[in-house]
Amino acid sequence: MTVISETEAHFTANSARDKHPLPATRNQAEHAVGAASAESEEVVRLHHVNRRFGTTQALKDVSLTVKRGEIVGIIGRSGAGKSTLIRCLNGLERPDDGIIEIEGNPITGLSEKQLQSVRSRVGMVFQHFNLLSAKTVEQNVALPLKIAGYDKAQRKARVAELLALVGLEDKAAQYPAALSGGQKQRVGIARALAANPALLLCDEATSALDPETTRSILALLQSLNQKLGITVLLITHEMEVIKKVAHRVAVLNGGEIIEEGPVWQVFAHPQSALTRTLLSGLLPQLPEALAEKLSQHRAGEAIYSVHYAAQDDVGQARQGEILTLMAAELAGQFRLIQGGVDHIQHYAVVRFFFSVPVANAESEQNILHWLQQQQAHVELIGYVTGHA
């Protein structure tokens, strides 16, 4: 019962039909999004938001803006406050203090009836799909439109358009039980888009899916963002998801945003220990056998890590360019241990580890000076005696 009532809380949101008319075609939908863009640059604004449950502070002084057309990821471990944040955004939770605005309209302090018109601008995609098993795909997608009072012809036209948009035009008459997990999530996305929202909230939308299906759903979200200009706020605990689709990322820990910025920048220069931990599976790491030998006693070899980001030139990746230059200009002065390059938002993001003999202080200084000139972030992580 709880799941259905939470889902229907979003469906009943579309009573303000005269304010946001339902586009009958995709062209009209795109025109409506373009018109709305002129109204407000910021789709979401949180300003010093706090939410407490007894002695537990689920959100602590959270401030964040999401601009129209952005895909912004909110990442954090279980218990970080992600679910509370998303429930505050869709009006299912009320913050104790602070300001939340959707398209410039404050939602804190609104009555349940007043919240309905705000929710009409917010689509919700759930982790476990939340489809009604007794209704067909077509009926599930049409449900928010039916509740809002659209006639049968309008509903049928809009549902057909949406199912084509998510690649399920041949599944309209099927029931959820006959669908795969990825197909169910596509139905959930189509339903969330039914009333042409300005904002799509995705709450762990891929965490119940296998890796291949996850990739297809993320590609769909990217496509919808590009075709419709829809703003997406993605709640996840998977940094891989952030890397694939988000433009910006905010790291949530203990109810606080501890780091925020463009995805490429956060990958290239993670500031917090938590962010570095979340990235550990995606970025090259020091070999375990070598890490176990690390000491703070200056002897043997000094081990350094390097983070570096360079913008790709007209889409041509500058793969490993810093290593090529380093090897050419400082040949024989260092030993490369491990490294790799990734490409995020037209940036080549490089991380590698190298060592230099402590006895050769001149080489060490030459290398550090050269890397600083390249605007690379260099960190001494310890010393080892002998080779790993």
Instruction: Give the chain's mean pLDDT.
Output: 86
Helices (H) and strands (E) in the chain, counts: 14, 14
Residue 40: predicted pLDDT? 53
What's the sign of the alpha-carbon dihedral 15, 20, 25, 26? negative
pLDDT in tens, 109-121: 888 888 887 788 8
Domains delineated in the chain: 2-269 (3.40.50.300), 283-384 (3.30.70.260)
**Which of 168-182, 280-294, 333-347 has maximum average pLDDT?**
168-182
Strand order in the sheet with 231-236: 122-125, 199-203, 231-236, 71-75, 248-253, 256-262
Q: In whole angstroms, give the CA distance from residue 164 to residue 345.
A: 28
pLDDT beyond 80 at 339: yes
pLDDT beyond 50 at 288: yes
pLDDT beyond 90 at 75: yes
User: Nearest Cα to 71, choosing from 190, 208, 184, 228?
Assistant: 228
